[in-house]
Amino acid sequence: MVCLIFGGGGFIGSAIAERLILDGYKVRIFDRKGAKDVRNLSSIGDVEWMSGDLSSPRDLETAISGAEIIVHSLSATLPKSSNENPIYDVQANLIGFLKTLDAAVAKKVRKIVFISSGGTVYGNVKYCPIDEHHPTNPLVSYGVTKLSMEKYLTIYQRSFGLQSISLRVSNPFGEWQRVEKGQGAVGVFLSRALTNQTIDIWGDGTAVRDFMHVEDVATAVVRAVKYSGDHQVFNISSGEGTSLNLLVKIIENTLGFGLNLSYHAPRQFDAPVSILSNELAKVELNWEPKISLVKGIQRTAQWMRTHLLTSNG
């Protein structure tokens, strides 16, 4: 079975690719030109690399031909900046996604597993933990676009029989996360701490997030690929809330020294609390996170000491 991963050269996508390869799948990765095999996936199993443009019908057709499963883990924008240019957000993400769905139908792809955003599709919390029935009122264009993609998947499943699973992933972190764009609190805090930089915190540090290691995300994707039940949307999360202030203390305990912090006025698009229930995934996907926040931070810190500091040294 060929599994095609859009964005397989990225942080989440490469972790998914590694897990699928180790589980015996033939993996094809489609990513932008210049994407690198940072995890050295070719050394562990059957993987095919392709690069191109999602807006190109020829590139899409070539990538999708022969694939039975598609994992979509590709985004051209970031949550924190997507409101600055919503038109670009839609053009860069949603339009290409719809072209992908059309090509998938034409090429008779069986299933799409879509990496959505549990941190942005819900917006301000009405109750906690947030389950899949919680109202969806995104505060950023990124979340609106992700939610739109979910809805189009439902339409294509109903209209064309294209099976789909949307995984609303909470705040992932771990090895190989790109921190230069300032996305991902755990990775950014760790990298800044290890390079003696000040850490910016928006608000008073009481904002609560649901952090989970990317290896657990990858395992959830494999379970979604195999899933044959009726549910289409799952929260993939730790199910536990951690404030930014507590995150700082965990990192300080891990590294053995204090962090330099700079507190700023809160941003309008940051929800004060986001904790996702993962009960549905536990029951339906037979999945649950295995790596604790403390253990995940220890692993990530060790990786950064080896890779980040070496590359900067």
Cβ-Cβ contacts under 8 Å for 184 (sequence gap 6 or more) = 171, 172, 173, 177
Using an 8 Å Cβ cutoff, are 98 and 159 in contact? no
Q: How far apart are CA 185 and CA 191, in angstroms?
A: 10
Indicate the DSSP class of residue 283. Answer: H
Q: Is 110 exposed, middle or buried (0-12, 13-18, 19+ CB in 10 A)?
A: middle
142 is catalytic: yes
Q: How far apart are CA 298 and CA 282, in angstroms?
A: 25
Coil, helix or strand at residue 222: helix
Using an 8 Å Cβ cutoff, are 212 and 237 in contact? yes
Catalytic residue among 88, 122, 127, 142: 142
The residue to which tokens 């494999």 are assigned: 222
What the block records as the tokens of 193 is 């701490």
- Sign of torsion over alpha carbons 100, 104, 109, 111: positive
Q: Is 84 exposed, middle or buried (0-12, 13-18, 19+ CB in 10 A)?
A: exposed
Catalytic residues: 142
